[in-house]
Amino acid sequence: MSVEQIARAARDAAAELAPLTRAAKDAALLALADALVEATETVLAANRRDVQRGRTEGLSETMLDRLALSAERVAAMADGLRDVAALPDPIGEVIRGYRLPNGLQVRQIRVPLGVVAIIYEARPNVTVDAAGLTLKSGNAVLLRGSSSARESNAALVEVLATAAEKAGLPAATIQLVPADSRDTVTELLHARGLVDVVIPRGGAGLIRHVVENAVVPVIETGVGNCHIYVDKAADHDMAEAITVNAKTSRPSVCNAAETLLVHRDLAEEFLPRILTALQAAGVTVHGDETIAAYDGVIPATDEDWAEEYLSLDMAVAVVDSIEAAEAHIRRWGTGHTEAIITESQSAAQHFVSHVDSAAVMVNASTRFTDGGEFGFGAEIGISTQKLHARGPMGLPELTSTTYVVTGDGHVR
């Protein structure tokens, strides 16, 4: 089937999915979970072929680790589907409702987006997570994974789609878009009128490619050059603990901190201890002129301020004021998450109202920007754009709304 045919089938499926009850969707999700566990061996066999091929083709060990599945990982994916079944159904929620002076009843009601396309890189668990979240929110999904995971993804989608059909859902509820050529991405990005949104999940290159080439609406996700600003009124212990946590607890994720900005007033006292603590945790520090004077610090260039390292590297600069910190963030940030460490209420308020990011942390680690941490129960990605959804996206972010207006023969 061509991508257009696949998308048309999804469009038709979406029309059937929109009016489904929560009970029908939850029953299907539980059936999907059971089918997945039952098919563990088939999935693992397909995954071994992907890993084998990846090794031959020279994939890095990190990539291979992301790609590799185990019986435990399959069971965890199934549990993820069961968790999604337990979440409230966003569809049908009345967001606003009121009566107009002329007696018309207006209700704004959550409805599915329709057809959601996800374009993603190596991890096969995204296949299952995305299928679960889109099903629960009443959407048809088009899954375009990476070619390195193509056998795993094909096996997973085969299991999920078959189980969905058995549970009474349309056959085209969950579909894989072939990963055999880049053209299938291009076709997805141009399927105007068939695809309601494309969500890219992956590195900066993938996201840029999608944004620059899409004719259908896109939600940008994930690039996080996150900053920590240590204000002159910061508690030094707290500043150290949060900085080390935000940088080192999981450096490869988008909510890890990449740049530390330190107010000049506490630089002399705070810098020696934070640099020591970072270096003791294995972090390579890239510093501005002041900081480069310390042992083991590499002088930073503009590229360091712009970089999302995703590694045990951190750029560190001294700033003269909170305004200078905010200006640095405006210039170099990606609008993901920034944190201020301060005991000053007015500094916290200034930072919150002058920093324009999806999330702003006051005396907390940047690592908390996460759907799970925010209590959403699940996450389809973290939006770094301002339209539609900003920050962690859960089920309500996979919906649109309709105005239902009820009258009694009303005319204008």
Which lies closer to a copy of itself via its Cβ, residue 41 or residue 356? 356
The DSSP letter of residue 279 is: H
Which lies closer to a copy of itself via its Cβ, residue 166 or residue 386? 386
Distance CA 239, CA 341 (A): 6
Q: How far is the CB of 360 from a copy of itself (least distance, A)?
A: 5
Cβ 300 vs Cβ 293: under 8 Å: no
Which lies closer to a copy of itself via its Cβ, residue 143 or residue 340? 340
Q: How far is the CB of 105 from a copy of itself (least distance, A)?
A: 9
Which lies closer to a copy of itself via its Cβ, residue 41 or residue 343? 343
Quote the tokens at residue 305: 């301020």
Q: How far is the CB of 202 from a copy of itself (least distance, A)?
A: 18
Q: Give how far Cα 209 sits from Cα of 153, 185, 189, Å.
A: 22, 10, 10
Radius of gyration in angstroms for the set of CA atoms belonging to the chain, rounded to a whole number: 24
DSSP reduced 3-state for 316: strand
Which lies closer to a copy of itself via its Cβ, residue 51 or residue 378? 378
H-run or E-run covering 323: helix 322-332
Which lies closer to a copy of itself via its Cβ, residue 294 or residue 368? 368
H-run or E-run covering 196: none
CB-based contacts of 93, cutoff 8 Å, min separation 6: 109, 110, 396
Q: How far is the CB of 387 from a copy of itself (least distance, A)?
A: 4
Distance CA 326, CA 59 (A): 39
Q: How far is the CB of 199 from a copy of itself (least distance, A)?
A: 11
Q: How far is the CB of 388 from a copy of itself (least distance, A)?
A: 4
Quote the tokens at residue 256: 């890890």
Q: How far is the CB of 218 from a copy of itself (least distance, A)?
A: 8
Contacting residues toward a copy of itself, per CB under 8 A: 15, 18-19, 98, 100, 104, 106, 108, 111, 113-114, 192, 196-197, 211-212, 215, 217-219, 235, 237-238, 241-242, 245-246, 249, 330, 348, 352-354, 356-365, 367-369, 373-375, 385-388, 390-392, 400-412
Which lies closer to a copy of itself via its Cβ, residue 99 or residue 166? 99
Burial of residue 88 (number of CB atoms within 10 Å: 0-12, 13-18, 19+):
exposed
CB-based contacts of 328, cutoff 8 Å, min separation 6: 227, 259, 261, 305, 317, 319
Which lies closer to a copy of itself via its Cβ, residue 130 or residue 234? 234
Q: How far is the CB of 66 from a copy of itself (least distance, A)?
A: 21
